[in-house]
């Protein structure tokens, strides 16, 4: 069997490809060749020994679906791939749209639907959660500076000012809110989200839904160390039934199909969990899951192949990951080959 | 007539890949770029280069002259050739 | 001679992280040698460059496809061609021959529709600017007048009382559908009750006949859901009319605004990936219409004023390379003979641009500039493009919407527009301008004639 995986950019803002491969290899039953699908010739995964059998450059998602499809067809002729697991947010829309065409080439995937991808847009998530009695930080959308005057009617300062795609600032008064509004709107456009600021600890859940509403598995983690870029650099598995139940409810209601990460904050005042974000793919720390007893990536591979998968019922708490950086050494010839040939 | 030479420490591989050891920069050339670069390395003058290419390739003199000018301008700005 | 090798321009690329993905770029640009089976080169040989080309086949297929999609979800559907999107006679005629009505927003557009033989009752008259004479004419010809504001409503009451004629009217409603910017400058607001108030005023006036409700929530909409919200709100008004006044509307008009496959500047993912399909827009609208009840006779017709999504991909602009340049930064610039004055949409789209003949596989980051002697004349700040030579032809995709109405004569003349007909023949549908055409509107005062 052959399996292709994207996101081998194990950098300081890493993609989940490398940990996903490590997870798959963690399973004793796993027996497949792995092909790396890469966007840049310096993705560290290319240079790791025994990680992938071969790597192919593929076009950036921004260059259009036709190109991606054409390149994948070429790769398919060489490799006969059975399953592709895309791992990056920015490529998911493209792979979802190509799902049928790739299936015709004999490539299976296990992806969320277009509608499911849309639910997680920041402004829609709020509606989804309030319809389903899931706590989310209270938020409003504003599209002009003058609307910021209304903040005190709905919130107590501080509040979080967020962009519709990225970026967030905590502000303490109207002046700071205006500054944040201008900064974010000039970069990410309107509307701007004004969100209740919740004090508390952050918890993340990695999970897998089978598309019928059933949760195949869910492992909760608390970040132990967060870098100045906001990335978790160490974390520990924890268990709180509330947290897992909320995650299962989200999967049930959306009938989520694929791997995912749910980000929560636990209010230090009330102890309640608030859902901050849904990421439509496995997180970078996914390798923690098989080591805690739930090999969710391997289960996803089975689902992609159309096999039955039994849900996991528990996992080991107290399993820790600590991320490290590690210099790989290689010769310029490797770099030359991937640069000039596009495959290695 | 201006002529250009490639410094001795710069090598080009068969795949058209150049590594500049003094700065660590790398470059990729297409087939024709590689051809011209190798002729420059062989210390051929621009006239010689041009006539060799016209002999072998389907191209008119004016277009080729323009393209070589532009190419040399790029090589110069990338410190890959020196004018002599 | 024939044994000579194929030449390609020499190229060197500096490898920079993030720019080393040759598959991210090279195949991006595929040559487009022909349009609907007609060689691009032949088109230019005959009609010159730049040249706008419209495909009759594509328009018909778009229109039929959209009608089929909506009809399979709701029994009564009527399209009205949005004149401002492209009001060339030939284009309008194709839409009308497919059964579309006319949707106009000015007296000029109204006249264009009438001259094409569209009866008043098949014209929807929208927009904030309708003169008294335009209104009177529309009343006389039984056009469907969509009222935009109270001043217009009272003017209509006045005019119909003076003439003792009845007017068929609808109101345009604006509303919060969760997208930004809110288009609250057109029509009557739903949330603050203004729309309901306008409807009540129409019902109590003797000479105005309320036949429909209209909304148009925005342009280039990326969210299908917003149409569901809009539909539900219009349906809510329709139910209010039924319950309070036992009034059945003839139609509900959801306007247009469906996004096309052009990618916006600043949008990372290509439009084809993120823009909802017509099916998704249709699903959203029809799910909102389920709220309506009654027999088939009582159900209002669903009117759609879709413009961009039906014409954008039926239009091409062929342009010629005037020169290649190297900018001071080392970046390549390609200068073409089509400027922003005829390709207005380059201010907001990243158009798909193809060479019209096979090029080498190597590409280079380039800027594409128009021919105007103006710094703003930039068709694309940055595009990874293969090497093209002077006099090579390029084809720019998706220019059917707005370019041929918002274009302007500036520095040079506007070019020919041709239509490739269904049978593969090519017809000139708008002649390129010449100096006589431009100057015939000008008058040189007698005192300035002999300035020597």
Q: Distance (Å, rounded) from C-alpha C204 to C-alpha C154?
A: 12
- Given a contact cutoff of 8 angstroms between Cβ atoms, the answer to whether A61 and A94 are in contact is yes
Give the orientation angle of helix B31-41 with respect to helix B61-77, to 10 degrees: 70
pLDDT at C54: 98
For A193-229, the pLDDT digits (tens) are 898 988 888 899 999 999 999 999 999 999 988 887 7
Q: C360 CB near a chain B CB, below 8 Å?
A: yes
Asked whether the predicted pLDDT for residue C330 surpasses 60, the reply is yes
Low-confidence winner among A54-68, C123-137, C222-236 (lowest mean pLDDT): A54-68
A220 close to A240: Cβ distance less than 8 angstroms: yes
- Indicate yes or no: CB of B19 within 8 angstroms of CB of A339: no
What is d(CA A329, CA C202) in angstroms, rounded to the nearest whole number?
Answer: 79
Tell me the mean pLDDT in the region C61-68. Answer: 96
Looking at residue A230, the DSSP 8-state letter turns out to be S
CA–CA gap between residue B58 and residue B38 (Å, rounded): 19
Residue A100 to residue A109: CA distance in whole angstroms: 10
- Binding partners of C (≥3 Cβ pairs within 8 A): A, B
pLDDT at residue C230 in the model: 94
Residue C26's pLDDT is 44
Nearest CA in chain C to B70: C326
Using the predicted structure, report yes or no on whether residue A2 has a pLDDT greater than 80: yes
All structural domains of chain C with their residue ranges:
26-53+314-433, 56-312
Please report the ipTM that was assigned to this predicted complex. Answer: 0.91
Distance CA B75, CA C154 (A): 73
Residue C251 in tokens: 């139609």
Residues of A in contact with B26 (CB under 8 A): 332, 335-336, 339
Residue C22 has pLDDT above 60, yes or no: no
Q: Is B11 on the interface with A (CB under 8 A)?
A: no
Q: Which residue of B has its CA nearest to C1?
A: B58
CA distance linking residue B52 with residue C198, whole number of Å: 82
- Greater confidence (A130 vs C334) lies with C334
Q: Tell me what the mean pLDDT of segment C363-387 comes to.
A: 90
Write the CATH number of the domain with boundaries C56-312: 3.20.20.10
More confident residue, C86 or C450: C86
Contacts of C113 (CB under 8 A, 6+ apart): C83, C92, C102, C104, C123
- Looking at residue B1, what is its pLDDT? 56
The answer, for A335 touching chain B at a CB cutoff of 8 Å, is yes
Q: What is the mean pLDDT of chain A?
A: 90
Do the chains contact at C28 and A40, CB–CB below 8 Å? no
Return the HEC string of chain C.
CCCCECCCCCCEEECCCCCCCHHHCHHHCCCCCEECCEEHHHHHHHHCCCEEEEEHHHHHHHHHHHHHHHHCCCCCEEEEEEHHHCCCHHHHHHHHHCCCEEEECCHHHHHHHHHCCCCHHHEEECCCCCCHHHHHHHHHCCCEEEECCHHHHHHHHHHHHHHCCCEEEEEEEECCCCCCCCCCCCCEECCCCHHHHHHHHHHHCCCEEEEEEEECCCCCECCCHHHHHHHHHHHHHHHHHHHHHCCCCCEEECCCCECCCCEECCCCCCHHHHCCCHHHHHHHHHHHHCCCCCCCCCCCEEEECCCHHHHHHHEEEEEEEEEEEECCCCCEEEEECCCCCCCHHHHCEECCEEECCCCCCCEEEEEEECCCCCCCCEEEEEEEEECCCCCCEEEECCCCCCHHHHCCCECECCCCEEEECCCCCEEEEECCCCHHHHHCCCCCCHHHCCCC
Is C26-53+314-433 in CATH node 2.40.37.10? yes
Is the model's pLDDT at C19 over the cut of 80? Answer: no
For chain B, the structural domain boundaries read 4-83
Interface test with C, best of A13, A36, A46, A62 (most C CBs within 10 A): A62
Instruction: Note the CATH architecture for domain B4-83.
Output: Orthogonal Bundle (1.10)
Distances (CA, A) of C87 to C202, C222, C322: 32, 25, 30
Structure confidence by residue, pLDDT tens digits, C270-285: 777 778 888 889 999 9
Mean pLDDT of the A83-92 span: 90
- What per-residue confidence (pLDDT) applies to C25? 43
pLDDT band at C27 (very low <50, low <70, confident <90, very high): very low
For the segment A116-128, what is each residue's pLDDT rounded down to a tens digit? 888 877 667 888 8
| B29: its two tokens | 């050339």
pLDDT, residue A123, reads 66
Q: What is the pLDDT of residues A34-55, one digit of tens each?
A: 999 998 888 899 999 899 999 9
Which domains are delineated in chain A? 2-110+327-341 (3.40.50.20), 138-196 (3.30.1490.20), 199-322 (3.30.470.20)
On the question of a cis peptide bond just before residue A191, with omega within 30 degrees of 0, the verdict is yes
Distance from C-alpha of B74 to C-alpha of C9, rounded to nearest angstrom = 13
Write down the pLDDT at residue C317: 98
CA distance A287 to A14: 13
What is the pLDDT at residue C265? Answer: 73
| pLDDT bucket at C197, cuts 50 / 70 / 90 | very high
Instruction: Report the mean per-residue pLDDT for chain C.
Output: 91
- Quick: pLDDT tens for C350-373: 898 999 988 766 778 899 999 998
Q: Are A142 and A195 in contact (CB under 8 A)?
A: no
A324 has pLDDT over 60: yes
Which of A180-184, A214-218, C155-159, C390-394 is the least confident region? Answer: A180-184
C133 vs C139: CA distance, rounded Å: 10
Bigger pLDDT: B66 or C396?
A: C396
Confidence check: pLDDT of C24 > 80 = no
The stretch A302-307 carries a mean pLDDT of 95
Q: How confident is the model at residue C23 (pLDDT cuts 50, 70, 90)?
A: low
Tens digit of each residue's pLDDT (9 = 90 or more) over B1-53: 578 889 888 889 888 899 888 888 889 898 899 999 999 999 999 999 999 99
Q: For the residues C103-113, what does the mean pLDDT come to?
A: 98
User: Using one digit for the tens of pLDDT, what is the confidence trace for A237-250?
Assistant: 999 999 999 999 99
């Amino acid at each position: 069997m052959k399996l292709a995986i994207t996101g081998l950019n194990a950098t300081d803002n890493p993609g989940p490809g490398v940990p996903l491969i490590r997870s798959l290899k963690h399973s004793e039953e796993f027996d497949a060749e792995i092909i790396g699908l890469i966007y840049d010739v310096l993705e560290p995964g290319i240079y790791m020994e025994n990680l992938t059998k071969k790597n192919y450059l593929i076009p950036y998602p921004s260059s259009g679906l036709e190109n991606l499809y054409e390149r994948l067809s070429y790769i398919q002729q060489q490799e006969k791939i059975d399953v592709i697991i895309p791992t990056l947010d920015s490529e998911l829309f493209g792979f979802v749209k190509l799902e049928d065409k790739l299936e015709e080439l004999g490539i299976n995937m296990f992806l969320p639907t277009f509608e499911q991808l849309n639910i997680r847009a920041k402004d829609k998530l709020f509606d989804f959660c309030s319809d389903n009695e899931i706590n989310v930080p209270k938020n409003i959308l504003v599209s002009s500076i003058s609307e910021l005057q209304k903040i005190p009617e709905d919130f107590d300062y501080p509040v979080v000012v967020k962009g519709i795609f990225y970026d967030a600032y905590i502000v303490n008064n109207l002046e700071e809110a205006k500054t944040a509004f201008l900064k974010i709107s000039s970069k990410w456009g309107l509307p701007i989200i004004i969100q209740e600021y919740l004090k508390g600890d952050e918890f993340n859940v990695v999970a897998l839904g089978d598309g019928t509403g059933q949760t195949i598995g869910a492992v909760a983690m608390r970040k132990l160390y967060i870098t100045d870029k906001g990335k978790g650099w160490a974390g520990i598995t924890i268990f709180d039934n509330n947290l897992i139940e909320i995650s299962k409810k989200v999967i049930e209601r959306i009938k989520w199909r694929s791997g995912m990460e749910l980000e929560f904050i636990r209010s230090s005042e009330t102890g309640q969990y608030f859902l901050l974000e849904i990421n439509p793919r496995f997180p970078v720390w996914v390798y923690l899951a098989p080591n805690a007893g739930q090999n969710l990536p391997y289960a996803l591979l089975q689902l992609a192949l159309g096999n039955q998968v039994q849900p996991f019922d528990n996992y080991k708490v107290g399993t820790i990951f600590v991320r490290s950086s590690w210099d790989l050494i290689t010769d310029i010839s490797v770099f030359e080959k991937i640069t000039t040939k596009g495959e290695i | 007539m201006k002529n250009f030479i490639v410094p001795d420490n710069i090598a080009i591989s068969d795949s058209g890949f150049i590594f500049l050891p003094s700065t660590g920069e790398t470059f990729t050339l297409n087939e024709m770029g590689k051809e011209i670069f190798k002729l420059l390395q062989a210390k051929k003058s621009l006239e010689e280069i041009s006539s060799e290419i016209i002999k072998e390739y389907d191209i008119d003199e004016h277009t080729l002259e323009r393209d070589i000018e532009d190419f040399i301008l790029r090589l110069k700005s990338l410190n890959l050739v020196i004018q002599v | 001679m024939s044994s000579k090798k194929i030449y390609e321009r020499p190229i060197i690329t500096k490898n920079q992280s993030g720019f080393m993905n040759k598959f991210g770029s090279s195949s991006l640009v595929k040559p487009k040698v022909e349009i609907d089976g007609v060689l691009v080169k032949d088109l230019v040989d005959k009609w010159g460059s730049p040249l706008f080309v419209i495909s009759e086949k594509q328009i018909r297929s778009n229109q039929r496809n959209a009608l089929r999609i909506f009809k399979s979800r709701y029994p009564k559907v009527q399209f009205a061609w949005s004149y401002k999107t492209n009001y060339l006679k030939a284009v309008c005629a194709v839409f009308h021959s497919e059964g579309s009505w006319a949707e106009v927003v000015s007296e000029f557009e109204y006249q264009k529709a009438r001259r094409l033989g569209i009866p008043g009752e098949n014209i929807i008259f929208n927009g904030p600017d309708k003169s008294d004479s335009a209104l009177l004419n529309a009343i006389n010809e039984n056009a469907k007048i969509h009222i935009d504001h109270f001043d217009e409503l009272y003017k209509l009451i006045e005019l119909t009382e003076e003439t003792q004629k009845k007017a068929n009217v609808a109101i345009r409603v604006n509303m919060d559908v969760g997208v930004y910017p809110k288009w609250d400058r057109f029509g009557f607001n739903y949330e603050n009750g203004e729309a309901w108030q306008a409807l009540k005023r129409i019902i109590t006036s003797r000479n105005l006949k309320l036949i429909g409700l209209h909304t148009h929530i925005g342009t280039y909409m990326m969210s299908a859901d917003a149409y569901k919200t809009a539909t539900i709100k219009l349906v809510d008004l329709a139910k209010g009319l039924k319950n309070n006044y036992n009034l059945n509307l003839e139609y509900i008009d959801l306007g247009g605004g469906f996004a096309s496959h052009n990618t916006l500047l600043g949008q990372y993912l290509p439009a084809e990936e993120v823009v909802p399909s017509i099916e998704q827009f249709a699903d959203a609208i029809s799910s909102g219409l389920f709220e309506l009840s009654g027999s088939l006779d009582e159900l209002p017709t669903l009117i759609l004023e879709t413009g961009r999504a039906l014409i954008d991909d039926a239009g091409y602009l062929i342009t010629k390379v005037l020169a290649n340049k190297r900018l001071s930064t080392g970046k390549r610039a390609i200068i073409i003979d089509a400027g922003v004055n005829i390709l207005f949409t380059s201010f907001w789209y990243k158009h798909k641009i193809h060479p019209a003949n096979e090029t080498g596989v190597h590409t280079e980051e380039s800027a594409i500039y128009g021919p105007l002697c103006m710094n703003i004349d930039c068709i694309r700040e940055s595009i990874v493009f293969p090497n093209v030579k002077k006099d090579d032809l390029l084809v720019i995709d998706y220019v059917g919407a707005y370019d041929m109405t918002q274009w302007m004569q500036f520095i040079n003349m506007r070019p020919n527009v041709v239509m490739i007909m269904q049978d593969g023949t090519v017809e000139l549908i708008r002649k390129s301008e010449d100096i006589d055409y431009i100057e015939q509107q000008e008058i040189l005062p007698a005192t300035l004639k002999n300035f020597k």
